């Protein structure tokens, strides 16, 4: 699978503002960058550093009055969908050290609040069987509704409201998986067919020795998702963080399949 990615960000800035950008497709074993070009207006040289878990690139810029960025890439994805239910369980004590933080509650994923719900609804399920059941439950019980949540919406709030956008689906699935003893992290991604076209948020669950991409919205699949960044929740994977006021002029994300 080859995907072509085209991004434009245009904002008015109040004075001089530090900007942290996470928009570049991550170079990884299962997604190779055939072409990759990021252009950012900045009053100082850009400063790049590795993203969380060494996935992707964080890029610092200094914007004044106006911030404009374009990003183009062609990515080759070498990854198949995996039937989650076929994957086994790993006891927490046997997990790799780097996955253990993703068992814990975080700001937007209050996994400790879902223990009772899991015990009542998914009793007896572990590992991949639990992951598959949780993904199906989130997809069946949430309604995708643009504008139904804010930057302050947490997994517990989404669970109560039963609606949200992609980040809410990801937060809820991640929180439920952690409550069930499955390390889970949030992923910002590019994917074709996302409506409305935008940066997409999905989950990754650690099962049988690897991170498995899961999109509870059903809009994407493991074989056509391009990771940008990973982290505990939306705090770590936001495409742009401004340390000052910014007003949107235009934002466009286009992701197209070049071939299958």
Render pLDDT for 71-99 as a digit per residue (tens, 0 to 9): 999 999 999 999 999 999 999 999 999 99
Whole-angstrom Cα distance, residue 55 to residue 63? 25
So what's the pLDDT on residue 260?
61
Regarding whether 88 and 217 lie in a shared domain, the answer is yes
DSSP 28: B
Q: Which helix (H) or strand (E) holds 133?
A: helix 127-141
Instruction: Judge whether 13 and 246 are in contact, CB under 8 Å.
Output: yes
Regarding whether 42 and 145 lie in a shared domain, the answer is no
Structural domain tally of the chain? 2
Question: Could you tell me the residue range of the domain that residue 117 belongs to?
Answer: 84-237
Regarding whether 136 and 20 lie in a shared domain, the answer is no
Regarding whether 200 and 121 lie in a shared domain, the answer is yes
Render pLDDT for 122-161 as a digit per residue (tens, 0 to 9): 999 999 999 999 999 999 999 999 999 999 999 999 999 9
Render pLDDT for 145-156 as a digit per residue (tens, 0 to 9): 999 999 999 999
Regarding whether 244 and 230 lie in a shared domain, the answer is no
How deeply is 197 buried, as exposed, middle or buried, from its count of CB atoms within 10 A (0-12, 13-18, 19+)? Answer: middle
Instruction: Judge whether 90 and 102 are in contact, CB under 8 Å.
Output: no
Distance linking the first and last C-alpha atoms of the chain = 5
Regarding whether 60 and 115 lie in a shared domain, the answer is no
Question: What is the CATH number for 182?
Answer: 3.10.620.30
Please state the pTM of the whole predicted model.
0.96
Whole-angstrom Cα distance, residue 205 to residue 114? 17
Regarding whether 202 and 95 lie in a shared domain, the answer is yes
Regarding whether 248 and 188 lie in a shared domain, the answer is no
Helix axes 127-141, 166-179, angle to 10 degrees: 150
Whole-angstrom Cα distance, residue 21 to residue 234? 13
Regarding whether 157 and 253 lie in a shared domain, the answer is no
Instruction: Judge whether 109 and 175 are in contact, CB under 8 Å.
Output: yes
Regarding whether 121 and 178 lie in a shared domain, the answer is yes
Instruction: Grade residue 228 by pLDDT with cuts at 50, 70 and 90.
Output: very high
Instruction: Grade residue 177 by pLDDT with cuts at 50, 70 and 90.
Output: very high
Regarding whether 52 and 149 lie in a shared domain, the answer is no
% of the chain residues with pLDDT over 70 = 100
Q: Which of 179, 174, 175, 253 is nearest to 214 (CA)?
A: 174
So what's the pLDDT on residue 259?
78
């Amino acid at each position: 699978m080859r995907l072509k990615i085209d991004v434009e960000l245009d904002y008015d800035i109040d004075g001089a503002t530090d900007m942290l950008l996470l928009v570049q497709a991550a170079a990884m074993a299962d997604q190779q960058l055939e072409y990759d070009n990021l252009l950012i207006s900045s009053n100082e040289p850009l400063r790049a550093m590795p993203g969380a878990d060494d996935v992707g690139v964080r890029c610092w810029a200094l914007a004044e009055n106006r911030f404009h960025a374009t990003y183009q890439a062609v990515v080759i994805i070498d990854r198949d969908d995996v039937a989650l239910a076929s994957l086994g369980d790993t006891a927490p004590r046997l997990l790799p050290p780097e996955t253990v933080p993703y068992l814990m509650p975080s700001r937007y994923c209050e996994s400790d609040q879902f223990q009772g719900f899991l015990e009542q609804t998914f009793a007896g399920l572990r590992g991949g069987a639990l992951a598959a059941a949780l993904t199906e439950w989130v997809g069946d019980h949430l309604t995708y509704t643009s504008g139904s949540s804010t930057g302050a919406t947490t997994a517990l709030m989404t669970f109560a409201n039963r609606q949200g956008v992609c980040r809410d689906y990801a937060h809820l699935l991640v929180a439920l998986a952690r409550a069930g003893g499955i390390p889970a992290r949030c992923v910002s991604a590019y994917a074709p067919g996302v409506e409305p076209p935008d940066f997409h948020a999905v989950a990754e669950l650690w099962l049988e020795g690897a991170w498995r991409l899961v999109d509870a919205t059903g809009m994407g699949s493991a074989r056509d998702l391009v990771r940008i960044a990973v982290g505990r929740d939306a705090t770590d994977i936001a495409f742009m963080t401004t340390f000052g006021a910014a007003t949107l002029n235009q934002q466009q994300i286009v992701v197209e399949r070049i071939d299958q």
